[in-house]
Amino acid sequence: MVIRDAARSVVELRVSNAPLFAVICCTTLCAMFATSGIRFILPTSVLEHFGSEAAVGYVFSLLDAGTVLGGMLYTRFNRQTTARQVLRYWALYGALFFAAAMALEFNSWTFLAILFAVGFDGAFVISPS
């Protein structure tokens, strides 16, 4: 009975508020992939590249600093958040994360700058819409 009610509620949401349904689905999928990248792949890559566990902490601090700055400036960039904007921010988040991975192979400073931008954009995908 509970499962049937939950399924009915999901169908109702999909019909009554398609943009919200799209944001929920996209955020769920993107968050799963982003979480695995941030929790497992990023620390391993940083440790391998820089050879120091302290560097992992510094990289995460930089990522977090970007998120804090993005959160502080969120309302300057978004007067009104739409579902389309959230999906664009997720796409940008993924593209920046990919660019950071590529940059790590070539230039450490570029990697760090892009990672700061990943954190900045991360504030936009986790901020309430």
Mean pLDDT of the region 69-79 = 87
- pTM of the full predicted structure? 0.79
| Residues near 11 by beta carbon (within 8 Å), at least 6 away in sequence | none
3-state secondary structure of 50: helix
Q: Please, are residues 62 and 50 in contact by the beta-carbon 8 Å criterion?
A: no
Summarised one tens digit per residue, pLDDT across range 7-51 is 888 788 778 878 877 778 777 887 777 777 778 888 988 999 999
Cα separation, 67 vs 86, whole angstroms: 15
As to burial, measured by CB atoms within 10 angstroms (0-12 exposed, 13-18 middle, 19+ buried), residue 115 is buried
